[in-house]
Structure 1
Protein backbone atom coordinates (compact mmCIF):
# COMPACT_ATOMS: atom_id res chain seq x y z
CA UNK A 1 0.00 0.00 0.00
CA UNK A 2 2.88 2.37 0.74
CA UNK A 3 5.14 1.23 -2.08
CA UNK A 4 4.51 4.54 -3.86
CA UNK A 5 6.80 6.15 -1.24
CA UNK A 6 9.72 4.49 -3.05
CA UNK A 7 8.94 6.34 -6.26
CA UNK A 8 11.37 9.04 -7.37
CA UNK A 9 8.87 11.83 -6.73
CA UNK A 10 8.15 10.74 -3.17
CA UNK A 11 11.79 10.02 -2.32
CA UNK A 12 12.72 13.57 -3.39
CA UNK A 13 9.79 15.04 -1.46
CA UNK A 14 10.71 13.10 1.69
CA UNK A 15 14.39 14.04 1.47
CA UNK A 16 13.44 17.69 1.01
CA UNK A 17 11.27 17.54 4.14
CA UNK A 18 14.10 15.92 6.12
CA UNK A 19 16.46 18.70 5.04
CA UNK A 20 14.02 21.53 5.77
CA UNK A 21 13.29 20.43 9.34
CA UNK A 22 16.81 20.96 10.82
CA UNK A 23 17.41 24.05 8.66
CA UNK A 24 14.26 25.78 9.94
CA UNK A 25 14.98 24.73 13.52
CA UNK A 26 18.41 26.36 13.21
CA UNK A 27 16.92 29.51 11.67
CA UNK A 28 14.52 29.70 14.60
CA UNK A 29 17.37 29.50 17.11
CA UNK A 30 19.31 32.10 15.10
CA UNK A 31 16.43 34.56 15.46
CA UNK A 32 16.02 33.59 19.11
CA UNK A 33 19.69 34.36 19.84
CA UNK A 34 19.31 37.70 18.03
CA UNK A 35 16.38 38.45 20.32
CA UNK A 36 18.44 37.58 23.40
CA UNK A 37 21.35 39.72 22.18
CA UNK A 38 19.03 42.67 21.54
CA UNK A 39 17.50 42.38 25.02
CA UNK A 40 20.96 42.23 26.61
CA UNK A 41 22.12 45.18 24.48
CA UNK A 42 19.11 47.26 25.56
CA UNK A 43 19.81 46.44 29.21
CA UNK A 44 23.42 47.60 28.84
CA UNK A 45 22.29 50.87 27.27
CA UNK A 46 19.66 51.47 29.96
CA UNK A 47 22.17 50.78 32.74
CA UNK A 48 24.70 53.14 31.13
CA UNK A 49 22.39 56.10 30.52
CA UNK A 50 20.62 55.83 33.88
CA UNK A 51 23.77 55.46 35.99
CA UNK A 52 25.07 58.51 37.85
CA UNK A 53 27.63 60.39 35.74
CA UNK A 54 31.31 60.03 36.62
CA UNK A 55 34.32 62.17 35.82
CA UNK A 56 35.47 61.46 32.29
CA UNK A 57 39.01 60.80 33.50
CA UNK A 58 37.79 57.72 35.36
CA UNK A 59 36.85 55.97 32.13
CA UNK A 60 39.19 57.22 29.44
CA UNK A 61 42.64 58.67 28.87
CA UNK A 62 44.82 59.57 25.86
CA UNK A 63 45.15 56.50 23.64
CA UNK A 64 42.38 54.62 25.46
CA UNK A 65 39.98 52.54 23.35
CA UNK A 66 36.47 52.88 24.77
CA UNK A 67 35.12 49.39 25.41
CA UNK A 68 31.56 48.23 24.74
CA UNK A 69 30.91 48.19 28.51
CA UNK A 70 31.89 51.88 28.67
CA UNK A 71 29.87 52.97 25.68
CA UNK A 72 26.99 55.36 26.51
CA UNK A 73 28.25 55.82 30.09
CA UNK A 74 27.38 59.28 31.32
CA UNK A 75 30.45 61.35 32.12
CA UNK A 76 31.14 64.90 33.19
CA UNK A 77 34.04 67.20 32.39
CA UNK A 78 34.97 70.79 33.19
CA UNK A 79 37.04 72.94 30.88
CA UNK A 80 37.03 75.62 28.22
CA UNK A 81 35.86 75.16 24.65
CA UNK A 82 38.49 75.72 21.97
CA UNK A 83 36.24 77.56 19.52
CA UNK A 84 39.13 78.24 17.14
CA UNK A 85 39.52 74.54 16.37
CA UNK A 86 35.96 73.41 15.80
CA UNK A 87 35.18 70.73 13.23
CA UNK A 88 32.09 69.50 11.47
CA UNK A 89 31.42 65.81 10.84
CA UNK A 90 30.04 65.44 7.36
CA UNK A 91 26.80 63.69 6.29
CA UNK A 92 25.05 63.13 9.61
CA UNK A 93 21.30 63.03 10.15
CA UNK A 94 19.09 64.34 12.91
CA UNK A 95 16.03 62.69 14.47
CA UNK A 96 13.95 63.75 11.44
CA UNK A 97 16.42 62.11 9.02
CA UNK A 98 17.51 65.47 7.67
CA UNK A 99 21.07 65.43 6.38
CA UNK A 100 23.49 67.88 7.93
CA UNK A 101 26.63 67.83 10.04
CA UNK A 102 27.65 67.26 13.63
CA UNK A 103 29.59 69.97 15.44
CA UNK A 104 32.75 68.68 17.09
CA UNK A 105 34.40 71.06 19.54
CA UNK A 106 37.50 70.35 21.65
CA UNK A 107 37.06 70.97 25.38
CA UNK A 108 40.39 71.83 27.00
CA UNK A 109 40.46 70.45 30.53
CA UNK A 110 42.28 71.97 33.48
CA UNK A 111 45.20 69.56 33.08
CA UNK A 112 45.70 70.52 29.43
CA UNK A 113 44.18 67.36 27.99
CA UNK A 114 41.42 67.63 25.42
CA UNK A 115 38.00 65.98 25.36
CA UNK A 116 36.22 65.89 22.01
CA UNK A 117 32.61 66.99 22.45
CA UNK A 118 29.98 66.32 19.81
CA UNK A 119 27.72 69.30 20.50
CA UNK A 120 24.95 68.12 18.16
CA UNK A 121 23.50 68.52 14.68
CA UNK A 122 23.14 71.54 12.42
CA UNK A 123 21.88 71.90 8.86
CA UNK A 124 24.53 71.79 6.16
CA UNK A 125 23.44 75.05 4.50
CA UNK A 126 23.96 73.83 0.96
CA UNK A 127 26.36 71.31 -0.57
CA UNK A 128 28.63 69.66 1.94
CA UNK A 129 31.75 70.77 0.13
CA UNK A 130 31.92 73.98 2.15
CA UNK A 131 31.90 74.60 5.88
CA UNK A 132 28.56 75.81 7.24
CA UNK A 133 28.37 78.57 9.82
CA UNK A 134 29.17 76.86 13.11
CA UNK A 135 27.37 78.14 16.22
CA UNK A 136 29.82 79.41 18.82
CA UNK A 137 30.14 77.34 21.99
CA UNK A 138 29.64 78.87 25.45
CA UNK A 139 32.56 81.03 26.55
CA UNK A 140 34.54 80.62 29.74
CA UNK A 141 34.72 77.55 31.93
CA UNK A 142 31.86 75.12 31.48
CA UNK A 143 30.87 71.77 32.92
CA UNK A 144 29.37 69.36 30.41
CA UNK A 145 27.62 66.02 30.72
CA UNK A 146 27.38 63.52 27.92
CA UNK A 147 27.51 59.94 26.73
CA UNK A 148 30.95 58.43 26.23
CA UNK A 149 31.43 56.97 22.74
CA UNK A 150 34.25 55.01 21.11
CA UNK A 151 36.29 56.39 18.24
CA UNK A 152 34.55 55.94 14.91
CA UNK A 153 36.07 53.69 12.27
CA UNK A 154 35.06 52.69 8.76
CA UNK A 155 34.86 49.04 9.82
CA UNK A 156 32.31 49.74 12.57
CA UNK A 157 30.33 52.56 10.97
CA UNK A 158 30.52 51.74 7.28
CA UNK A 159 31.42 55.39 6.59
CA UNK A 160 34.32 55.91 4.20
CA UNK A 161 37.02 58.23 5.49
CA UNK A 162 37.18 60.48 2.43
CA UNK A 163 40.25 62.56 1.76
CA UNK A 164 40.49 66.03 0.29
CA UNK A 165 37.77 67.55 2.48
CA UNK A 166 37.81 71.25 3.34
CA UNK A 167 39.81 72.24 6.40
CA UNK A 168 37.69 71.76 9.50
CA UNK A 169 35.58 68.95 8.00
CA UNK A 170 35.94 65.24 8.80
CA UNK A 171 34.04 62.08 7.99
CA UNK A 172 34.80 60.18 11.21
CA UNK A 173 35.52 61.19 14.80
CA UNK A 174 38.90 59.80 15.84
CA UNK A 175 40.81 60.93 18.92
CA UNK A 176 44.22 59.87 17.56
CA UNK A 177 43.79 61.89 14.36
CA UNK A 178 42.56 64.90 16.35
CA UNK A 179 45.56 64.66 18.67
CA UNK A 180 47.85 65.13 15.67
CA UNK A 181 45.83 68.07 14.36
CA UNK A 182 45.56 69.83 17.74
CA UNK A 183 49.04 68.86 18.91
CA UNK A 184 47.60 68.07 22.34
CA UNK A 185 46.87 64.89 24.28
CA UNK A 186 43.29 63.89 23.46
CA UNK A 187 41.23 61.54 25.57
CA UNK A 188 40.24 58.35 23.77
CA UNK A 189 36.77 58.38 22.27
CA UNK A 190 34.45 61.37 22.44
CA UNK A 191 31.34 62.58 24.24
CA UNK A 192 27.86 63.16 22.84
CA UNK A 193 26.68 66.24 24.71
CA UNK A 194 23.46 65.86 26.69
CA UNK A 195 23.72 68.90 29.01
CA UNK A 196 23.68 71.83 29.16
CA UNK A 197 21.28 72.47 26.31
CA UNK A 198 22.55 75.08 23.83
CA UNK A 199 21.01 78.54 23.78
CA UNK A 200 18.39 78.75 21.06
CA UNK A 201 18.39 74.99 20.52
CA UNK A 202 21.31 75.03 18.09
CA UNK A 203 23.11 72.71 17.63
CA UNK A 204 20.38 70.14 18.18
CA UNK A 205 21.38 67.73 20.91
CA UNK A 206 21.62 64.14 19.74
CA UNK A 207 18.91 61.77 20.89
CA UNK A 208 19.70 59.11 23.45
CA UNK A 209 20.17 55.66 21.91
CA UNK A 210 17.04 53.58 21.45
CA UNK A 211 16.83 50.89 24.10
CA UNK A 212 13.12 50.14 24.17
CA UNK A 213 12.61 48.32 20.90
CA UNK A 214 13.44 44.62 20.76
CA UNK A 215 12.43 44.06 17.15
CA UNK A 216 10.52 41.11 15.79
CA UNK A 217 13.23 38.48 16.21
CA UNK A 218 11.23 36.44 18.73
CA UNK A 219 8.20 36.41 16.45
CA UNK A 220 10.40 35.27 13.56
CA UNK A 221 11.83 32.48 15.74
CA UNK A 222 8.34 31.23 16.58
CA UNK A 223 7.37 31.39 12.90
CA UNK A 224 10.35 29.26 11.86
CA UNK A 225 9.50 26.67 14.52
CA UNK A 226 5.86 26.61 13.42
CA UNK A 227 7.05 26.06 9.85
CA UNK A 228 9.20 23.19 11.17
CA UNK A 229 6.18 21.55 12.77
CA UNK A 230 4.16 22.06 9.60
CA UNK A 231 6.60 20.05 7.46
CA UNK A 232 5.90 16.55 8.91
CA UNK A 233 2.22 17.39 9.30
CA UNK A 234 2.07 18.42 5.65
CA UNK A 235 3.98 15.28 4.62
CA UNK A 236 1.47 13.05 6.43
CA UNK A 237 -1.45 14.93 4.84
CA UNK A 238 0.03 14.43 1.38
CA UNK A 239 0.60 10.72 2.05
CA UNK A 240 -3.00 10.22 3.22
CA UNK A 241 -4.33 12.13 0.24
CA UNK A 242 -2.23 9.97 -2.07
CA UNK A 243 -3.64 6.86 -0.40
CA UNK A 244 -7.21 8.11 -0.83
CA UNK A 245 -6.60 8.98 -4.48
CA UNK A 246 -5.10 5.58 -5.17
CA UNK A 247 -7.95 3.79 -3.36
CA UNK A 248 -10.53 5.79 -5.31
CA UNK A 249 -8.76 5.02 -8.58
CA UNK A 250 -8.64 1.33 -7.73
CA UNK A 251 -12.35 1.28 -6.81
CA UNK A 252 -13.29 3.02 -10.06
CA UNK A 253 -11.24 0.58 -12.07
CA UNK A 254 -12.90 -2.34 -10.26
CA UNK A 255 -16.39 -0.97 -11.03
CA UNK A 256 -15.67 -0.74 -14.76
CA UNK A 257 -14.09 -4.21 -15.10
CA UNK A 258 -16.48 -7.03 -16.31
CA UNK A 259 -16.96 -9.78 -13.68
CA UNK A 260 -18.24 -12.67 -15.84
CA UNK A 261 -18.26 -14.11 -19.42
CA UNK A 262 -20.10 -12.10 -22.02
CA UNK A 263 -23.70 -13.08 -22.77
CA UNK A 264 -24.32 -15.05 -26.02
CA UNK A 265 -27.18 -14.33 -28.35
CA UNK A 266 -29.87 -17.02 -28.96
CA UNK A 267 -31.84 -17.57 -32.08
Structure 2
Protein backbone atom coordinates (compact mmCIF):
# COMPACT_ATOMS: atom_id res chain seq x y z
CA UNK A 1 0.00 0.00 0.00
CA UNK A 2 2.86 2.37 0.77
CA UNK A 3 5.28 1.17 -1.89
CA UNK A 4 4.97 4.57 -3.55
CA UNK A 5 7.21 5.91 -0.76
CA UNK A 6 10.11 4.21 -2.57
CA UNK A 7 9.59 6.30 -5.69
CA UNK A 8 12.11 9.05 -6.49
CA UNK A 9 9.61 11.85 -5.83
CA UNK A 10 8.68 10.60 -2.36
CA UNK A 11 12.25 9.75 -1.38
CA UNK A 12 13.24 13.35 -2.14
CA UNK A 13 10.24 14.66 -0.16
CA UNK A 14 11.12 12.50 2.87
CA UNK A 15 14.78 13.51 2.67
CA UNK A 16 13.87 17.21 2.66
CA UNK A 17 11.60 16.69 5.67
CA UNK A 18 14.35 14.84 7.56
CA UNK A 19 16.78 17.66 6.84
CA UNK A 20 14.31 20.35 7.86
CA UNK A 21 13.62 18.88 11.31
CA UNK A 22 17.13 19.34 12.82
CA UNK A 23 17.47 22.67 11.01
CA UNK A 24 14.32 24.14 12.53
CA UNK A 25 15.22 22.74 15.97
CA UNK A 26 18.61 24.44 15.74
CA UNK A 27 17.01 27.72 14.63
CA UNK A 28 14.69 27.53 17.64
CA UNK A 29 17.61 27.13 20.03
CA UNK A 30 19.44 29.97 18.27
CA UNK A 31 16.52 32.29 19.01
CA UNK A 32 16.33 30.93 22.58
CA UNK A 33 19.99 31.76 23.15
CA UNK A 34 19.41 35.25 21.77
CA UNK A 35 16.54 35.65 24.22
CA UNK A 36 18.70 34.49 27.13
CA UNK A 37 21.48 36.88 26.08
CA UNK A 38 18.99 39.76 25.88
CA UNK A 39 17.61 38.98 29.35
CA UNK A 40 21.13 38.73 30.79
CA UNK A 41 22.06 42.06 29.19
CA UNK A 42 18.96 43.73 30.62
CA UNK A 43 19.72 42.39 34.08
CA UNK A 44 23.34 43.57 33.82
CA UNK A 45 22.28 47.07 32.77
CA UNK A 46 19.61 47.35 35.47
CA UNK A 47 22.03 46.21 38.16
CA UNK A 48 24.82 48.49 36.93
CA UNK A 49 22.66 51.60 36.70
CA UNK A 50 21.28 51.20 40.22
CA UNK A 51 24.67 50.53 41.84
CA UNK A 52 26.38 53.20 43.90
CA UNK A 53 28.62 55.27 41.58
CA UNK A 54 32.34 54.58 41.93
CA UNK A 55 35.33 56.57 40.67
CA UNK A 56 36.01 55.83 37.02
CA UNK A 57 39.73 55.30 37.56
CA UNK A 58 39.08 52.69 40.28
CA UNK A 59 37.21 50.50 37.78
CA UNK A 60 38.88 51.29 34.48
CA UNK A 61 41.56 48.86 33.31
CA UNK A 62 45.00 49.97 32.32
CA UNK A 63 45.41 51.87 29.03
CA UNK A 64 45.04 49.61 26.01
CA UNK A 65 42.97 46.93 27.78
CA UNK A 66 39.25 46.24 27.49
CA UNK A 67 36.56 47.03 30.05
CA UNK A 68 35.20 43.77 31.53
CA UNK A 69 31.63 42.95 30.51
CA UNK A 70 30.37 43.03 34.11
CA UNK A 71 31.54 46.65 34.46
CA UNK A 72 29.88 47.90 31.28
CA UNK A 73 27.09 50.41 32.06
CA UNK A 74 28.36 50.76 35.64
CA UNK A 75 27.56 54.11 37.28
CA UNK A 76 30.82 56.06 37.68
CA UNK A 77 32.12 59.47 38.72
CA UNK A 78 35.16 61.51 37.72
CA UNK A 79 36.59 64.88 38.73
CA UNK A 80 38.99 66.87 36.61
CA UNK A 81 39.39 69.42 33.84
CA UNK A 82 38.39 69.02 30.21
CA UNK A 83 41.03 69.07 27.46
CA UNK A 84 39.15 70.78 24.59
CA UNK A 85 42.27 70.83 22.40
CA UNK A 86 41.85 67.09 21.80
CA UNK A 87 38.06 67.05 21.51
CA UNK A 88 36.57 65.14 18.56
CA UNK A 89 33.21 64.06 17.18
CA UNK A 90 31.92 60.63 16.21
CA UNK A 91 29.99 60.44 12.98
CA UNK A 92 26.61 58.89 12.12
CA UNK A 93 25.15 58.75 15.62
CA UNK A 94 21.47 59.25 16.43
CA UNK A 95 19.60 61.08 19.15
CA UNK A 96 16.53 59.80 21.02
CA UNK A 97 14.37 60.57 17.96
CA UNK A 98 16.62 58.79 15.49
CA UNK A 99 18.05 61.95 13.92
CA UNK A 100 21.56 61.42 12.60
CA UNK A 101 24.27 63.67 14.00
CA UNK A 102 27.47 63.41 16.05
CA UNK A 103 28.61 62.36 19.50
CA UNK A 104 30.95 64.89 21.13
CA UNK A 105 33.90 63.29 22.95
CA UNK A 106 36.22 65.36 25.11
CA UNK A 107 39.17 64.06 27.19
CA UNK A 108 39.07 64.79 30.93
CA UNK A 109 42.31 65.06 32.89
CA UNK A 110 41.65 63.65 36.35
CA UNK A 111 42.41 65.90 39.30
CA UNK A 112 44.09 63.07 41.21
CA UNK A 113 46.65 62.73 38.42
CA UNK A 114 45.77 59.09 37.74
CA UNK A 115 45.25 59.64 34.05
CA UNK A 116 42.96 60.95 31.34
CA UNK A 117 39.66 59.49 30.23
CA UNK A 118 37.36 60.06 27.27
CA UNK A 119 33.95 61.55 28.02
CA UNK A 120 31.05 61.24 25.60
CA UNK A 121 29.36 64.56 26.38
CA UNK A 122 26.31 63.83 24.23
CA UNK A 123 24.76 64.38 20.80
CA UNK A 124 24.75 67.38 18.48
CA UNK A 125 23.10 67.94 15.11
CA UNK A 126 25.05 67.93 11.86
CA UNK A 127 26.51 71.14 10.49
CA UNK A 128 26.18 72.58 7.00
CA UNK A 129 28.13 69.74 5.40
CA UNK A 130 29.52 66.32 6.20
CA UNK A 131 33.07 67.62 5.96
CA UNK A 132 32.44 70.53 8.34
CA UNK A 133 32.99 70.27 12.08
CA UNK A 134 29.51 70.64 13.65
CA UNK A 135 28.57 73.43 16.07
CA UNK A 136 29.48 72.08 19.52
CA UNK A 137 28.78 73.70 22.93
CA UNK A 138 32.09 74.40 24.59
CA UNK A 139 33.19 72.09 27.38
CA UNK A 140 32.97 73.72 30.84
CA UNK A 141 36.18 75.38 31.95
CA UNK A 142 37.73 74.69 35.34
CA UNK A 143 37.25 71.66 37.54
CA UNK A 144 34.06 69.65 37.07
CA UNK A 145 32.64 66.53 38.67
CA UNK A 146 30.96 64.14 36.25
CA UNK A 147 28.63 61.20 36.68
CA UNK A 148 27.86 58.77 33.94
CA UNK A 149 27.96 55.24 32.65
CA UNK A 150 31.12 53.25 32.00
CA UNK A 151 31.33 52.00 28.44
CA UNK A 152 33.78 49.74 26.66
CA UNK A 153 35.85 50.94 23.72
CA UNK A 154 34.02 50.70 20.43
CA UNK A 155 35.43 48.47 17.69
CA UNK A 156 34.23 47.70 14.19
CA UNK A 157 34.14 43.99 15.06
CA UNK A 158 32.25 44.59 18.31
CA UNK A 159 29.56 46.53 16.43
CA UNK A 160 28.70 43.44 14.41
CA UNK A 161 29.79 45.16 11.23
CA UNK A 162 27.42 48.11 11.59
CA UNK A 163 30.29 50.56 12.16
CA UNK A 164 33.05 50.78 9.56
CA UNK A 165 36.30 52.40 10.70
CA UNK A 166 37.37 54.25 7.58
CA UNK A 167 40.43 56.41 7.11
CA UNK A 168 40.54 59.77 5.37
CA UNK A 169 37.81 61.43 7.44
CA UNK A 170 37.73 65.21 8.02
CA UNK A 171 39.84 66.66 10.81
CA UNK A 172 38.76 65.60 14.32
CA UNK A 173 36.04 63.30 13.00
CA UNK A 174 36.04 59.56 13.72
CA UNK A 175 33.70 56.59 13.41
CA UNK A 176 34.56 55.02 16.77
CA UNK A 177 35.10 55.97 20.40
CA UNK A 178 38.30 54.03 20.94
CA UNK A 179 41.03 54.88 23.46
CA UNK A 180 43.78 53.04 21.58
CA UNK A 181 42.97 54.98 18.43
CA UNK A 182 42.97 58.30 20.31
CA UNK A 183 46.21 57.45 22.11
CA UNK A 184 47.85 57.14 18.69
CA UNK A 185 46.33 60.49 17.67
CA UNK A 186 47.33 62.44 20.78
CA UNK A 187 50.31 60.49 22.09
CA UNK A 188 48.82 60.56 25.61
CA UNK A 189 47.79 57.25 27.24
CA UNK A 190 44.10 57.08 28.09
CA UNK A 191 42.32 54.97 30.70
CA UNK A 192 40.49 52.05 29.12
CA UNK A 193 36.85 52.58 28.15
CA UNK A 194 35.01 55.88 28.32
CA UNK A 195 32.42 57.72 30.39
CA UNK A 196 28.96 58.30 28.91
CA UNK A 197 27.90 61.53 30.59
CA UNK A 198 24.64 61.83 32.55
CA UNK A 199 25.30 64.87 34.79
CA UNK A 200 27.86 67.64 35.39
CA UNK A 201 28.58 69.64 38.56
CA UNK A 202 28.51 72.58 38.30
CA UNK A 203 25.87 72.32 35.56
CA UNK A 204 26.89 74.09 32.33
CA UNK A 205 24.66 76.69 30.71
CA UNK A 206 24.75 74.81 27.41
CA UNK A 207 25.76 71.29 26.52
CA UNK A 208 25.13 68.55 23.93
CA UNK A 209 21.96 66.49 24.32
CA UNK A 210 22.66 63.82 26.91
CA UNK A 211 22.35 60.22 25.77
CA UNK A 212 19.23 58.58 27.28
CA UNK A 213 19.46 55.57 29.56
CA UNK A 214 19.43 52.31 27.59
CA UNK A 215 16.17 50.39 27.45
CA UNK A 216 16.58 47.39 29.74
CA UNK A 217 12.94 46.26 29.93
CA UNK A 218 12.34 45.08 26.37
CA UNK A 219 13.19 41.39 25.95
CA UNK A 220 12.51 41.40 22.23
CA UNK A 221 10.66 38.82 20.10
CA UNK A 222 13.28 36.06 20.25
CA UNK A 223 11.36 33.70 22.57
CA UNK A 224 8.28 33.96 20.34
CA UNK A 225 10.47 33.19 17.31
CA UNK A 226 11.93 30.15 19.09
CA UNK A 227 8.45 28.78 19.82
CA UNK A 228 7.42 29.38 16.22
CA UNK A 229 10.40 27.40 14.92
CA UNK A 230 9.66 24.49 17.25
CA UNK A 231 5.98 24.50 16.29
CA UNK A 232 7.07 24.36 12.67
CA UNK A 233 9.31 21.41 13.60
CA UNK A 234 6.31 19.55 15.01
CA UNK A 235 4.26 20.34 11.91
CA UNK A 236 6.78 18.79 9.52
CA UNK A 237 6.12 15.09 10.35
CA UNK A 238 2.40 15.80 10.71
CA UNK A 239 2.33 17.43 7.29
CA UNK A 240 4.29 14.56 5.72
CA UNK A 241 1.93 12.00 7.29
CA UNK A 242 -1.12 13.87 5.94
CA UNK A 243 0.39 13.88 2.46
CA UNK A 244 1.26 10.17 2.68
CA UNK A 245 -2.26 9.22 3.80
CA UNK A 246 -3.83 11.33 1.07
CA UNK A 247 -1.60 9.72 -1.56
CA UNK A 248 -2.39 6.24 -0.24
CA UNK A 249 -6.15 6.90 -0.31
CA UNK A 250 -5.97 8.29 -3.86
CA UNK A 251 -4.04 5.24 -5.05
CA UNK A 252 -6.44 2.85 -3.30
CA UNK A 253 -9.39 4.62 -4.87
CA UNK A 254 -7.85 4.38 -8.32
CA UNK A 255 -7.20 0.65 -7.87
CA UNK A 256 -10.81 0.03 -6.73
CA UNK A 257 -12.34 1.70 -9.79
CA UNK A 258 -13.11 -0.74 -12.70
CA UNK A 259 -11.02 -0.18 -15.77
CA UNK A 260 -13.15 0.81 -18.76
CA UNK A 261 -11.82 -0.36 -22.17
CA UNK A 262 -12.75 1.30 -25.48
CA UNK A 263 -14.48 -1.93 -26.66
CA UNK A 264 -16.89 -1.77 -23.67
CA UNK A 265 -18.15 1.66 -24.62
CA UNK A 266 -21.48 1.49 -26.61
CA UNK A 267 -21.41 2.84 -30.14
Of 217, 234, 244, which residue of structure 2 is paired with 1:229? 234
| CA drift at 1:56 | 0.8
Is 1:21 aligned with 2:21? yes
Matched residue of 2:69: which SS? coil
How far residue 179 of structure 1 moved from its aligned partner, in angstroms, is: 3.3
Matches within 5 A, 1:62-211: 62-63=62-63, 64-112=65-113, 113-157=115-159, 158=161, 159-196=163-200, 199=204, 202-211=207-216
Shift of 1:226: 1.0
1:33 maps to what in 2? 33
Gaps of 5+ in 1: 263-267
Runs of 4+ in 1 over 6 A off after TM superposition: none
Mapped contact 1:81–1:106 kept (Cα < 8 A): yes
TM-score by length of 1: 0.87
Aligned residues: 257
Residues 230/111 of structure 1: CA separation in 2 closer, same or farther (3 Å cut): same
> How do 1:33-72 and structure 2 match up within 5 A?
33-63=33-63, 64-72=65-73
1:200, distance to aligned residue in structure 2 (A): 5.8
Structure 1 residue 82 displacement after superposition:
2.1
The 1-side partners of 2:164 and 2:237 are apart by 49
Kept in 1, the 8 Å contact 2:119–2:196? The answer is yes
Kindly state the Cα deviation for residue 44 of structure 1 after the two structures are TM-superposed.
Answer: 1.2
Give CA deviations for 1:219-267 in whole Å, capped at 9, x if unaligned.
111111111111111122112212221222223226x58xxxx9xxxxx
CA distance in 1, matches of 2:34, 2:186: 41
Q: Which digits, 9 at most, give the CA deviation of each residue in 1:61-80, with x for residues without a partner? A: 44142121111111101111
Structure-2 residue corresponding to 1:265 = none
Query: Residue 51 of structure 1: CA displacement?
Result: 1.3
Cα distance change on mapping 1:61 and 1:226 into 2, 3 Å: closer
Q: Is 1:252 paired with 2:251?
A: no
Gaps of 5+ in 2: none
Shift of 1:213: 1.7
1:19–1:95 Cα change, 3 Å: same
Q: What is the alpha-carbon distance in structure 1 between the residues aligned to residue 5 and residue 169 of structure 2?
A: 69
The CA deviation at 1:85 is 3.0
CA RMSD of aligned residues (A): 2.2
1:242/1:136 CA distance change after superposition, 3 Å: same
Q: Give the SS at the match of 1:253.
A: coil
User: Once the 2 structures are TM-superposed, how far is the Cα of residue 154 of structure 1 from its aligned partner?
Assistant: 2.1
Hey, what's the Cα distance between the residues in 2 that align with 1:23 and 1:160?
A: 32
Distance 1:83 1:29 in 2: 49
Q: Rg larger in 1 or in 2?
A: 1
When normalised by structure 2's length, the TM-score is 0.87
Partners of 1:209 and 1:241 in 2: how far apart? 54
Distance change (3 Å), C-alpha of 1:17 and 1:162: closer
Deviation digits for residues 35-67 of structure 1, max 9, x if unmatched? 112111211121111211111121114414212
